[in-house]
Structure 1
Amino acid sequence: MLPNSQTLKPSNSPTQYHSINCNGRLVELDTPKIMGILNLTPDSFSDGGKFNSEKAALEHTEKLLKDGADIIDIGPQSTRPHAEFLSSKEEIERIGNIISQIKKNFPQALISLDTFYSETVKFGFNEGIDMINDISGGQFDPEMFHTAAKTKLPYILMHVNPSYEAMHDKIKFEDITLEVNRYFFKKANELLEKGVKDIILDPGFGFGKTVEDQMKMIGETEYLGFEKFSLLIGISRKSFIYKPLGKSPLDINEETQKLHMKVLEKGARILRVHDVAEAALTIRQFCEKNKKC
């Protein structure tokens, strides 16, 4: 069982870095890793429709890996506000052979599947995925935690509101860091009890949180989560960065890399990004500066 969430201590010391077992492949997180985003959707907010064919998806995967991605995060369904809602069957049809083709053409690539459906996870597992990225924390499909445990894959646990319909409803929490930690405490224990061995925590930037609370989470990253698990940060092209600046999602790279550096300094081990080359440079600068990699 995990410690009480109200007694957390900062988790950014070198002793807190962990390894994860990805389909029998041990991945060490002593050096921060990059998760490159591969959206197969026609309606994602910044790159919808660009990579939703097998040829385009493979070409983009090649670029992500060349630029420095360690993990390819495949998203068959957009979760932006007012996006088209797909069933698991539709997700699977949209994925098609892309997972198996990536495995065939880029065997070194780790593949994460971004879905909140257990049936999509089962399909992805049979195709060769290496980890599960569930934005719902098991709240949109009651079979998700059980399925994750059966696969024995690492599971990314994200903080989000309790339902699909409400996931983008803005809530002003009394203490966002404490609220996220309470959620992690409850959900991580459920996963451990089911038998999930490797859990990665994602605070859920861009999902139902005010700009102020999201900036507070950036500033308090070292207090998010537990010493037992590693932290993933996904702030790439998020509106809490670009809207206050009056910019577009594609024009905030400089600001995003400054925030990436800040969360790396505070213990983040995986960055989920669209702009891989820029994130790779930030990680190199972090490693050179801190001599931690």
Structure 2
Amino acid sequence: MQVKGVLLNFNKPLTMGVLNITGDSFYAGSRNAFKEQYLPKALKMAAEGADILDIGAYSTRPGANEVDELTEIKKLTEAISIIRGALPGMIISADTFRASVAREAVAAGADIINDIGGGTLDDQMFETVAALRVPYILMHMRGNPQTMNSKAVYADLVGEIVFELSEKVNRLHELGVADIIIDPGFGFAKTALQNFELLKRLDELSIFNAPILAGLSRKSMIWRTLKITPDEALNGTTALNMVALMNGAKILRVHDVKEASEAIQLWEVYKG
């Protein structure tokens, strides 16, 4: 995959650190609402082994506060500029579902667009990514963050996810988008049991011949199953991240970079 004109190799799985520049994330430990917090958190993640930093200024948890377009652009571009200045070699992903924000984020220094809407929340996103000529993370979701929980109805969970993603992959290819990362969307329009089934069958997404991203970090499928809180869900996250690696994940999107990097290191030794 071409990123910054360099070929990114997925022979070894990568760690993507989550940098939420909002006070509204579901996990309190990932909230970085103030400008002064951005760089120290980014530097810490880089030191712990992050290959990619995923920066987002709009929480997509159910019931999250709305963020207007101009505010999202201002916060996201400011954070990207600060971090790009200090970490010129770091791969930066902009977490947004708005095409206009994607354009400004890339102009500010972002290398990848991570769209939780998979093109459904802004009908200009696919054309915009094609014009920007950057890699695109295509996530599976139905509805929007406010309605997605009511749409977790499937006759064939993985079959329907593959079908819905394939239509979008075909459209992206028609537009000339060559570099696509597949995110099955754990927790988005899926129940806890559906998430576990999806994790078990994750390797079936290899049909796309694209890197698979697993975003399991501290999600409700972990803490509700264990009857704990998101703050206590690191051990469960690490356990499921290892399962994801065994089932074909090439990127782990996490709040805790050190632990994910260690899991990848152990996985690499295990598989030989």
TM-score category, normalised to shorter length: over 0.9
Q: Structure 1 stretch 194-203 or stretch 170-179: which is displaced more? A: 170-179
Give CA deviations for 1:131-176 in whole Å, capped at 9, x if unaligned: 0000001111111000000111100000001345423335131221
Give the Cα separation in 1 of the matches to 2:176 and 2:135.
11
Q: CA RMSD in A?
A: 1.4
Q: Structure 1 stretch 92-101 or stretch 190-199: which is displaced more? A: 92-101
The answer to whether the 8 Å contact 1:99/1:129 transfers is yes
Give the Cα separation in 2 of the matches to 1:24 and 1:59.
27
1:150 maps to a residue whose letter is A
Give the Cα separation in 1 of the matches to 2:159 and 2:104.
36
- Quote the offset at 1:54 in angstroms: 2.3
For residue 235 of structure 1, give the secondary structure of its aligned residue in structure 2.
coil
Q: Which residue of 2 aligns with 1:172?
A: 153
Gaps of 5+ in 1: 1-19
Q: Which residue of 2 aligns with 1:212?
A: 193
Pairing partner for 2:259 from 272, 278, 283: 278
2:190 maps to a residue whose letter is K
- Quote the offset at 1:226 in angstroms: 2.1
**Which one has a larger percent helix, Structure 1 or Structure 2?**
2
Q: Structure 1 stretch 246-255 or stretch 279-288: which is displaced more? A: 246-255
The answer to whether the 8 Å contact 1:43/1:49 transfers is no
Structure number with greater CO (CA < 8 Å, separation at least 6) is 1
The answer to whether the 8 Å contact 1:172/1:213 transfers is no
**What are the within-5 Å matches in structure 2 for residues 180-199 of structure 1?**
180-199=161-180
Q: Which residue of 2 aligns with 1:9?
A: none
Pairing partner for 2:126 from 145, 151, 155: 145
1:106 paired to 2:87: yes
Closer, same or farther: CA 48–278 of 1 in aligned 2, 3 Å: closer
The answer to whether the 8 Å contact 1:181/1:225 transfers is no
Give CA deviations for 1:176-228 in whole Å, capped at 9, x if unaligned: 11111011111100111111110000000111111111000111111124242
- Quote the offset at 1:241 in angstroms: 1.1
Closer, same or farther: CA 127–229 of 1 in aligned 2, 3 Å: same
- Quote the offset at 1:100 in angstroms: 1.4
Aligned length: 272
Give the Cα separation in 1 of the matches to 2:240 and 2:144.
29
Q: Which residue of 1 aligns with 2:182?
A: 201
1:135 paired to 2:116: yes
1:29 maps to a residue whose letter is F
The answer to whether the 8 Å contact 1:29/1:269 transfers is yes
Closer, same or farther: CA 169–236 of 1 in aligned 2, 3 Å: same
Q: Which residue of 1 aligns with 2:66?
A: 85
Q: Which residue of 1 aligns with 2:24?
A: 43
1:34 paired to 2:15: yes
The answer to whether the 8 Å contact 1:170/1:210 transfers is no
The answer to whether the 8 Å contact 1:201/1:225 transfers is no
- Quote the offset at 1:49 in angstroms: 7.8
The answer to whether the 8 Å contact 1:41/1:48 transfers is no
Q: Which residue of 2 aligns with 1:259?
A: 240
The answer to whether the 8 Å contact 2:148/2:189 transfers is yes
The answer to whether the 8 Å contact 1:73/1:111 transfers is yes
Pairing partner for 2:205 from 193, 218, 224: 224
Runs of 4+ in structure 1 deviating by more than 3 angstroms, as ranges, are 162-165
